[in-house]
Amino acid sequence: MNTAPDTIEALANREYKYGFVTPIESDVIPRGLNEDIIRMISAKKNEPEFMLEWRLRAYRRWLTMEEPKWANLHYSPINYQDIIYYSAPKQKKPLGSLDEVDEELLRTFEKLGIPLEEQKRLAGVAVDAVFDSVSVATTFKEKLLELGIIFCSFSEAVQNHPDLVRKYLGTVVPYSDNYFAALNSAVFSDGSFCYVPKGVRCPMELSTYFRINAMDTGQFERTLIVAEEGSYVSYMEGCTAPIRDTNQLHAAVVELVALERAQIKYSTVQNWYAGDREGRGGIYNFVTKRGKCAGDNSRISWTQVETGSAITWKYPGVILQGNNSIGEFYSVAVTNNYQQADTGTKMIHIGKNTRSTIVSKGISAGHGNNTYRGLVKVLPKAMGARNYTQCDSLLLGDQCGAHTFPYMEVQNSSSSVEHEACTSKISDDQIFYCKQRGLSAENAVSMIVNGFCKEVFKNLPMEFAVEASKLLGISLEGSVG
Amino acid sequence: MLEIRNLCATADHKTILKGINLKVGIGEVHAIMGPNGSGKSTLAQVLAGHPSYAVTDGEVRYEGQDLLALAPEERAREGVFLAFQYPLEIAGVSNAYFLRTGLNEIRKHKGLEELDAMEFLGLLKEKMKLLEMEPSMKSRSVNEGFSGGEKKRNEILQMAIMDPKLAIMDETDSGLDIDAMKIVAKAVNKFRSPDNAVIVVTHYQRLLNYITPDFVHVLFDGRIVRSGGKELALELEEKGYDWIKEEAGTLREARV
């Protein structure tokens, strides 16, 4: 009469409702990767010379690098010559406004719950919609521009704000950073760009919705957010892909720069297709995300809910350069069926009195394997630096795994680093207790899992918290108490 | 309301209940006493449907239904409430949310409208006052960081809110100081009505000074070996359980 596994199975086997394919004609380049392909991508995007050069330098560097093998992940080798590095839905003409976006694309995003027509949108959220390799629409652009905020696709930023791109691109994640960052730097096709000028508090949530549609393509997007002195911005990112039984590669780079007293909140709900019950198909998600607290008293927070992808390799970090700067990382990572996640963060303390907080919640079910990997590094000059890490794992069933690899390098004696970790299982007694109060087993599991994630969910913007909670098959806790 | 006939149950292949017979009528309070390991808690858990126990024989009728055929959550929705001896902790879930979710499941089952957050808050406040609980307890995680006494009081709070037909209190008095026991007893007495019934499982007579039972049963080695009125509890308090054990022992020998 052990009810917990049944319920967990039910949760695990819920249908992936974003698994459809949009029938749309695409502009696709030949399979494989070489310098000509990179030139072709750059030419398609009509990029200035400095971009092409940067891409080529990244590509040449990539050729000398090896795919990292240290992660606790097992997957068949990726054939980089078998991937299509650029695929864009064919547009009848260059986009002038939202009215000119292909109907089929609008319908796709509407189906995903992201209506792009502004009057239908939540008033508080501006969206950049990325479909395969290109951004198809950005809402509320003009309204934001009135405040001096630039929010557009990366391609547009390269065209219209080349100086800003040149000044900041690669300053937080250089192309030489790692294998996947180098690959992304060479072939990235689009993404979002955001610039918040001095002293401006961005009045709405900015968000990018990433959608992979075409088969055998990789998605390589790049996001850059710059928050000038004393500014504030909250940014959210969501992702889905069709159900396919082959694996697709997603290798993104996100760079955040926070200048003096600036604050950036970056939230992700990652729901790429995770593969089927037997572990066939799904997205390989190799992502490099990093923020730099460049100025004093600046603050960067990462909040992520990772429920999708067959493989997740992701360590959003913060370089705490400015004195008194703050870095935060809140994460829920769920692995079901045969999903594998190796995720965590890097907090690099450089400035004085810098502080970092890490709260990681790993949930493993089915045959899922969940690894937390985190680095807290305190450099000699980071006097008075403090870190607090809490790292909890919840196991549902007895076929899954949870692993923790915390690394700490502390190079001065005036700093303090704390690490707490715990692993728990949902016990039959807990479920029975909930049932005795009238809850169904499914509700009981949802409630317990939701409670386990609460510290992370409370850091998400409202719209996302609801979605994140739904994603886990959970009804969000009410407003009482 | 409740009729237990020859109930036998095992846990881990060990026989614990060896033929329980008990009738509980509506409006009655029954106390079940007995030494450690006699099967009192097992009886409580079996009635609530804990999955670790297997019923091997006998039957339980509750309000004309076969109680043992119902899933634990169905029993709860039908009005069977168990105040746990060791209440469980649920991290990150507020006491208020947990209670409201449970209550609304039960209301839904009864065909009543669900209570919204504000209506529920009113009810919760009233019942918390009755149990003299700190207002902060409603937003704290379920039983997390509660003292032993707070957990027990929280169980009775849940009982007061769920308003069951049959309340089973499994050693609610253990871990309570005398003041807390009086508060709990007051809440239980307030809950008692001609429309419900209470089974109080306890080691000691102490609680029964405050909650007066209509019947007292002594459980020993998986059987009810003696039943009587409230004075039986006093007799046990005075003489201990040894004479019961002896009597039961003689009985067993006679049977062999």
Q: Which domains does chain B have, with CATH numbers?
A: 2-88+163-255 (3.40.50.300)
Residue B113 has pLDDT above 70, yes or no: yes
**B99 at A interface, C-beta within 8 A:** yes
User: How confident is residue A269, by pLDDT bands cut at 50, 70 and 90?
Assistant: confident
Q: What is the pLDDT of residue A118?
A: 54
User: How confident is residue A116, by pLDDT bands cut at 50, 70 and 90?
Assistant: low
> Taking all residues of chain B, what is their mean pLDDT, rounded to a whole number?
92
**B105 at A interface, C-beta within 8 A:** yes
Q: What is the pLDDT of residue B115?
A: 92
User: How confident is residue A478, by pLDDT bands cut at 50, 70 and 90?
Assistant: very low
Backbone angles phi, psi at A60, to 5 degrees: -65, -35
Contact A438 B109 (CB under 8 A): yes
Least confident of A51-65, A289-303, A418-432: A418-432
User: How confident is residue A93, by pLDDT bands cut at 50, 70 and 90?
Assistant: low
Longest pairwise C-alpha distance within chain B: 63
Contact B73 A447 (CB under 8 A): no
- Site from B84, B97, B121 to mutate, A interface, most A CB atoms within 10 angstroms: B97
Q: What is the pLDDT of residue B21?
A: 96
| Nearest residue of B to residue A4, measured between CA atoms | B51
Place of tokens 């090896």: A66
Residues of chain A with C-beta less than 8 angstroms from the C-beta of B79 = none
pLDDT tens digits, one per residue of B176-235: 999 999 999 999 999 999 999 999 999 888 899 999 999 999 999 999 999 999 999 888
- Site from A363, A433, A443 to mutate, B interface, most B CB atoms within 10 angstroms: A433
pLDDT tens digits, one per residue of B118-139: 899 999 999 999 999 989 888 8
Assembly ipTM: 0.95
| Helix B178-191 with B117-130: angle, nearest 10 deg | 130
User: How confident is residue A382, by pLDDT bands cut at 50, 70 and 90?
Assistant: very high
Nearest to A477 among B77, B93, B109 (CB): B93
- Contact (CB, 8 A) for B141 and B93: yes
Residues 375-434 of A with CB under 8 A from B: 427-430, 432-434
Q: Which residues, other chains included, contact B208 with Cβ-Cβ below 8 Å and sequence gap of 6+?
A: B31, B200, B202, B216, B230, B233
Distance from CA of A376 to the nearest CA of B (A): 26
Distance from CA of A151 to the nearest CA of B (A): 36
pLDDT tens digits, one per residue of B48-95: 999 999 999 999 999 999 999 999 999 999 999 999 999 999 999 999
Q: How far is C-alpha B12 from the chain's CA centre?
A: 23
Backbone angles phi, psi at A285, to 5 degrees: -110, 100
Residues of chain A with C-beta less than 8 angstroms from the C-beta of B120 = 480
| Helix A4-12 with A441-457: angle, nearest 10 deg | 60
- Segment A376-388 mean pLDDT: 96
Bridge partners (DSSP) listed for residue A135 = A130
Contact A450 B102 (CB under 8 A): no
Q: What is the pLDDT of residue A479?
A: 20
Residue A393 has pLDDT above 80, yes or no: yes
Residue A8 has pLDDT above 50, yes or no: no
Tell me the range of A89-93, A291-295, B170-174 where mean pLDDT is highest.
Answer: A291-295
- Contact (CB, 8 A) for A95 and A101: yes
User: How confident is residue A390, by pLDDT bands cut at 50, 70 and 90?
Assistant: very high
Identify the residue with better confidence: B248 or A54. A54
Residue A287 has pLDDT above 60, yes or no: yes
Contact B73 A439 (CB under 8 A): yes
DSSP A84: B
Q: What is the pLDDT of residue A476?
A: 26
**A67 at B interface, C-beta within 8 A:** no
- Segment A125-142 mean pLDDT: 72
Residue A4 has pLDDT above 50, yes or no: no
Residues of chain A with C-beta less than 8 angstroms from the C-beta of B84 = 433, 436
Least confident of A25-29, A333-337, A386-390, B112-116: A25-29
User: How confident is residue A190, by pLDDT bands cut at 50, 70 and 90?
Assistant: confident
Least confident of A181-195, A247-261, A288-302, A390-404: A390-404
Q: What is the pLDDT of residue A474?
A: 34
Contact A480 B96 (CB under 8 A): yes
**B39 at A interface, C-beta within 8 A:** no
Gap between the Cα atoms of A322 and A300, Å rounded: 12
| Nearest residue of B to residue A431, measured between CA atoms | B88
Place of tokens 């499994």: B170
Residue A107 has pLDDT above 80, yes or no: no
**B168 at A interface, C-beta within 8 A:** no
**Cβ–Cβ pairs < 8 A, chains A and B:** 103
**B132 at A interface, C-beta within 8 A:** no
Place of tokens 């307890």: B137
Whether pTM > 0.90 for this model: the answer is no
**B88 at A interface, C-beta within 8 A:** yes
Q: What are the structure tokens assigned to A278, written together?
A: 């037997």
Least confident of A227-231, A236-240, A423-427: A236-240
- Contact (CB, 8 A) for A353 and A383: yes
- Segment A100-119 mean pLDDT: 66
Nearest to A438 among B77, B96, B120 (CB): B77
Q: What are the structure tokens assigned to A368, written together?
A: 């899922």
Q: What is the pLDDT of residue B74?
A: 96
Residue A313 has pLDDT above 70, yes or no: yes
- Contact (CB, 8 A) for A154 and A170: no
Q: What is the pLDDT of residue A5?
A: 45
- Segment A234-263 mean pLDDT: 86
> Taking all residues of chain A, what is their mean pLDDT, rounded to a whole number?
84
Place of tokens 């067993």: B252
**B92 at A interface, C-beta within 8 A:** yes
pLDDT tens digits, one per residue of A18-75: 777 777 777 778 889 999 999 999 999 899 999 999 999 999 999 999 999 999 999 8
* % of chain A exceeding 70 in pLDDT: 83
**What single string gives the DSSP state of each residue in B199-246?**
EEE-S-SGGGGTS--SEEEEEETTEEEEEE-HHHHHHHHHH-SHHHHH
**A476 at B interface, C-beta within 8 A:** no
Residues of chain B with C-beta less than 8 angstroms from the C-beta of A448 = 90, 93
Q: Which residues, other chains included, contact A4 with Cβ-Cβ below 8 Å and sequence gap of 6+?
A: A396, A397, A426, A428, A431, A441, A445
Q: What is the pLDDT of residue B46?
A: 97
Residue A240 has pLDDT above 70, yes or no: no
Residues comprising chain A, all counted: 481
Residue B38 has pLDDT above 80, yes or no: yes
